[in-house]
Each structure stands twice: as C-alpha cells, then as structure tokens.
Amino acid sequence: MPGRETILNAARKNKPAFIEAPPAWAEGASIAPEQLTQKFIKTLESIGGKVIQCNDYDPIRAKLQEQLATGRFIANTIQGLGATSTEVQTNSNAQSLEPVEMAFIAGTLAVAENGAVWVYESQLLNRLLPFICQHLVLVVSRETLVSTMHAAYRKLDIAAEGYGVFIAGPSKTADIEQSLVIGAHGARSLLVYLVGGTEI
C-alpha cells in the first residue's frame, strides 16, 4: 500500500470521538441591562479604553467643541454632533489624514464580553480614520449593547456594506520584550461614550 494511503488510513482509524458544538450563548440570556453595561465598561477599561455614560449628546458636543478650540485637526463624522469634517473623504490618503489628532465616530453596536464596538464603513467616512488618528472617540447607544460576539453577529448585516470593523481598546502590542506599548500602530487612546436610550 502506498505511503499516502497508509497515513490516511491511520488517521481515519484514530479520529477522536465526535463532540457536538456548544450552543451559541443566548443573547443577554441571564444578564440584566445594568450588568451588561458594567461588564462592557470593565472589559474595555481592562484593555486600555475609557467609557463615559451620558443621557444625551450634550457632553459629546462639549468635548468636540473643546477639542476644535485647540486648533488641531479634529475629525467629526457624526452628523448628530454638528458639521462633519469635509476633509475626511473616502479618497483621502494617509498623508492628508496623518495630522488627525482626534476622530469622533459613531458605532452601531457594542459587545460586553470583549469591549468591542462595530463600525460600518459609512460611519467611518474613510477606512484609515480610526487607525491613523492619535485619539479615537466612539459614540454608541447603550440600547445596542449585546452580551457576546454570537449575539453581535446575529444582529449585524455584515454584507450590508463593503467594509466594517470591530474596534476594542486603543492600539497596543507586547511583542517586544513582553512590554506593553499603547498606541504602537494606531490610536493611542480610545474613549467610548455610551448614550442612554438614544439611537445614533
């Protein structure tokens, strides 16, 4: 018998017993809304992000105005906060976006288990923006919080647009000498505003 068949037959005889895949976690199965919020905050803060809870857009508008007053390149892509940045277009390249100090971007939903926020391409205006800015501000409705990635994918229509991304925490790496470096290849900080009961 050829060597290939010998190997394949040996593999067939030694297959482990079949184990059924565990059922996907039920969406928010036994997690009260306030626990879901606390889990999201705890998880995101443990990976270097920060969360501010608010009931409306006013504190976010104030933050945007405060940043605009510095004269630095602040990019706003959220119409609900005021005028969006005309400089940030789909065809803007890395060279033109390199000076962006802070970017304000709306998220579609947030995931408690890993602190991730899903953002569609249409919310980004430019795919480079959340990764090239120095500081990233994401705004997401508390109503969109889900417990797990299973629940997130059940809610998302990932084919709706050509691109979308989960963002969790600021950029970080510990590859070099096992020393954690924040902002190694992306935003140096992430601030998430959880807006209570307000759809964005």
Q: pLDDT tens digit string along 71-85?
A: 999 999 999 998 888
What is the model's pLDDT at position 170? 84
**Residue 198 pLDDT level (bands cut at 50, 70, 90):** very low
What is the model's pLDDT at position 199? 47
How far is Cα 37 from Cα 68, in angstroms, rounded to an integer? 30
Predicted structure pTM score: 0.81
Q: Beta partners for 109? A: 118
How far is Cα 137 from Cα 140, in angstroms, rounded to an integer? 10
How far is Cα 79 from Cα 86, in angstroms, rounded to an integer? 12
Residue-wise pLDDT tens digits, 108-135 = 999 999 999 999 999 998 999 999 999 9
What is the model's pLDDT at position 28? 44
Helix, strand, coil percent values for the chain (each to nearest 5):
30, 25, 45
Look at residue 188 and tell me whether its pLDDT is greater than 70: yes
Look at residue 103 and tell me whether its pLDDT is greater than 50: yes
Look at residue 7 and tell me whether its pLDDT is greater than 50: yes
Q: Classify domain 28-195 by CATH architecture.
A: 3-Layer(aba) Sandwich (3.40)
Better-predicted residue by pLDDT, 173 or 98: 98
Please state, for a pLDDT cut of 90, what percent of the chain lies above it: 52
How far is Cα 49 from Cα 43, in angstroms, rounded to an integer? 9
What is the model's pLDDT at position 91? 72
Domain ranges of the chain: 28-195
How far is Cα 174 from Cα 112, in angstroms, rounded to an integer? 24
Better-predicted residue by pLDDT, 67 or 160: 67
What is the model's pLDDT at position 1? 57
Across 14-115, the runs of DSSP E, i.e. the strands, are 50-54, 73-76, 100-106, 109-111
Please state, for a pLDDT cut of 70, what percent of the chain lies above it: 90
Strand pairing category for 164-167 and 116-120: antiparallel
Look at residue 27 and tell me whether its pLDDT is greater than 60: no
